Amino acid sequence: MRTMEMEKNENRKNWDDRTKIHEKSSFYDVQSFLKGRCSLLPLEKQELGDLSGRTMLHLQCHFGQDSLSWARRGVKVTGVDFSEEAIRLARSLNDDLGLDARFVCSDVYAIPEALPDERFDVVYTSYGVLCWLPDLTQWARIIRQKLKPGGLFYIAEQHPVADRYEADEGVLRPCYSYFEDKALRFESDTTYASDGTEPPLNHKVTYEWQHPMGKIVTALIEAGLRIVHLHEFPYCMYEKYPGCMVRDEDGWWRLRDEPALPLLFSIKAVNPE
Q: List, for residues 13-70, the tens digit of each pLDDT value.
A: 999 999 999 999 999 999 999 999 999 999 999 999 999 999 999 999 999 999 999 9
Give the DSSP H or E segment for 182: none
What residues make up the domain containing 187? 4-270
CB distance 67 to 77 below 8 Å: yes
The 10 Å Cβ neighbour count of residue 221 is: 13
Q: What is the mean pLDDT of residues 225-233?
A: 98
Packing angle of the helix pair 84-97, 4-22 (nearest 10 deg): 40
Residues in Cβ contact with 109 at an 8 Å cutoff, skipping those fewer than 6 apart: 135, 138, 139, 142
Measuring CA to CA, how many Å separate 96 from each of 30, 37, 99, 104?
A: 12, 14, 8, 18
Of residues 144, 267, 153, 269, the one with CA closest to residue 211? 267
Segment 87-123, tens digit of pLDDT: 999 999 999 999 999 999 999 999 999 999 999 999 9
CA distance 55 to 76: 5
CA-nearest of 104, 106, 32, 105 to 69 is 32
Average pLDDT, integer, range 128-148: 98
Which range is least confidently modeled, 64-68, 72-76, 105-109, 170-174?
170-174
Distance (Å, whole) CA 158 – CA 265: 6
Residue 171 DSSP SS3: strand
* pLDDT above 90 (res 260): no
* pLDDT(141) > 80: yes
Residue 78 is predicted with a pLDDT of 98
User: How far from 48 is each of 76, 98, 214, 231, CA to CA, in Å?
Assistant: 15, 24, 23, 13
The answer on pLDDT for 197 being more than 90 is no
In this prediction, residue 195 carries a pLDDT of 84
Report pLDDT for 1: 67
Amino acid at 220: L
Q: What integer is the mean pLDDT of 244-250?
A: 94
Q: What total of structural domains would you count in the chain? A: 1
pLDDT tens, residue by residue, 151-163: 999 999 999 999 9
Report the mean per-residue pLDDT for the chain. Answer: 95
How many alpha carbons fall within 13 Å on the CB side of residue 259? 1
Q: Which residues pair with 123 in a beta bridge?
A: 57, 153
CATH number at residue 190: 3.40.50.150
147 pLDDT above the threshold of 90:
yes
Average pLDDT over residues 193-212: 92
β strands within the chain, DSSP E: 55-59, 76-81, 102-105, 120-126, 147-158, 165-168, 171-174, 184-187, 205-208, 226-233, 245-247, 253-255, 264-270
Per-residue pLDDT, 194: 86
Q: Inform me whether the pLDDT recorded for 181 exceeds 90.
A: no
Burial bucket for residue 197 (CB in 10 Å: 0-12, 13-18, 19+): exposed
pLDDT value at 2 more than 90: no
